Amino acid sequence: MKQVKSGKIKTFCVDCLYDVVGSLIYGVGILCFTAPNQVAPGGVSGIATLINYVTGLPIGAMNFAMNVPLVIIGFLILGRTFTAKTLKSVVIMSAVLDYVVIYFPTYTGNALLASLFGGVCMGAGLAVVFMRGSTTGGSDILGKLLQLKAPHIPIGRMMLIMDCFVLAAAAIVYQNIEASLFGLIAMYASAQVMDGILYGLENGKMVHIVSNQNDEIAKDIIAHLNRSATILKGRGAYSGTEMDVIMVVVRKTEFFKLKTLVHKHDPNAFIVVTEAGEIIGEGWKPIDKDN
């Protein structure tokens, strides 16, 4: 019993450490780059930035105030575990924004650079928080709640619509259409960096190869790419001919070598390539419930 309790305390402390580090990096993006240059990224933090510009109220406090009703609704609908983790992250991030990052130096200069560096920091900070299964609330909770009412609409599309409203509001508040454009740049940079950190080392391309030289191609994949492959049974819909299909997953940097290898054996091979956002298992990311 003591070991279980000790394990939970250790997990909680590690979660908090990730939240603090992630919030620091995220806060630098907001308070040191985007906010001083009148750039409001999407989500609750973007709304808090606009309120801060108009009223002078702290961004962290506004972030917390807007998340409180969402967290309460989330508790009633989404469950205790999700809500507890979210509330913990929201409290830590709000405190870090208002009591730590405000003492950091700010950059006021080229708005494009501010948008890019702000987005990079925001994406990196969110990735650190997400690594432990937490969220920063805001549009994450709202998106999940809206999806319960309209499950046929993808959650990503819902969040994009909400972000567009924030960007439109930024143009009105700052009285400058460029504020929305720079906000869009910051959002894009944030999304790319976050995905790169969370999935960048494990993503790749899934390739299906249809050829009459499958045995030779499979041998070369194992020998020269140090990858295994799976042989799938297939049948041509038009010809009715039975055939084997090679399925292999490679890193993006390995794809050109794979394509060259296939062409060497069969220039007429049929190749289908799809993006693999995350790959888990032997030779890739280990299966871990915490990742």
Q: Tokens 């709640």 map to which residue?
A: 145
* Predicted pLDDT at 83: 79
> In which residue ranges of the chain is pLDDT below 50?
290-291
Neighbours of 141 (CB within 10 A): 25
* Predicted pLDDT at 130: 81
* Predicted pLDDT at 284: 61
End-to-end CA separation in angstroms for the chain? 26
* Predicted pLDDT at 38: 93
pLDDT tens digits for range 113-156: 999 999 999 989 988 888 877 777 777 677 666 666 666 665 55
Fold annotation for 204-276:
Alpha-Beta Plaits (3.30.70)
Q: Tokens 């709000």 map to which residue?
A: 94
Sequence ranges of the domains in the chain: 2-199, 204-276
* Predicted pLDDT at 236: 82
Helices (H), the chain: 2-27, 43-55, 59-78, 80-99, 111-130, 139-149, 155-174, 177-199, 214-224, 252-265
* Predicted pLDDT at 277: 65
* Predicted pLDDT at 80: 79
* Predicted pLDDT at 155: 54
